Amino acid sequence: MALTYLRKADMNDFEAIWSIVESAKQFLKEQDIDQWQTPDYPNKKVITDLINQQMYYVLITDGQVSGTAYIVLGHDVNYDYLTDSTLDESYGDNHMTIHMISVSDKFRGRHLTSYLMSDFITLAKAHDLHDIRIDTHVDNQIMQHTIEKTGFEKHGMIRQPLYTGYAYQLII
């Protein structure tokens, strides 16, 4: 079994992260999913800023960056666009939101997205957070399946000018 763990990204990881993001963009395009298909998102500056703000994480498998994502602790501006919300708001802004999950095409089929989700749930628990949120594009059925399989429940829609996605929540 491969040694797999989550850690904060640093700028030494940038090229591996960017390669994974570019591959994910191509995969989404091949699946005819409009997510991440604009030239300005995600882009290198966004990823650099998230790494520098220590919000970006990498999944390491056998010493290689195999997956990536970033988290927002507290208020997430994306959820200002939430409609039809049935979110449990009892924790206020004391929550974690997971964004931009990507897995390297070299590791596809090894269920590493589930590792990422599990590791973020553990990270939330370690920070005494009980409310975890995630959203994905309405056409991204692969990610929707993974999110729901992890135990998240759908609680509304995020409707932005260039993005419409389902919002999910897991209370732990």
> Which pLDDT score, from 0 to 100, does residue 162 have?
79
Element (H, E) at 27: helix 14-30
Cα 112 to the center of its chain, rounded Å? 12
Q: pLDDT digit string (tens) for 62-100?
A: 999 999 999 999 999 999 999 999 999 999 999 999 999
| One-letter-per-residue 3-state SS of 131-158 | EEEEEEECCCHHHHHHHHHHCCEEEEEE
Structure-token match 């590493």, residue found: 112
Q: At what angle do helices 141-150 and 112-126 cross, to 10 degrees?
A: 50
What is the pTM (predicted TM-score) of this model?
0.93
- Between CA 150 and CA 43 the distance in angstroms is 28
Q: pLDDT digit string (tens) for 109-156?
A: 888 999 899 999 999 999 999 999 999 999 999 999 999 999 999 999
Structure-token match 């590792």, residue found: 115
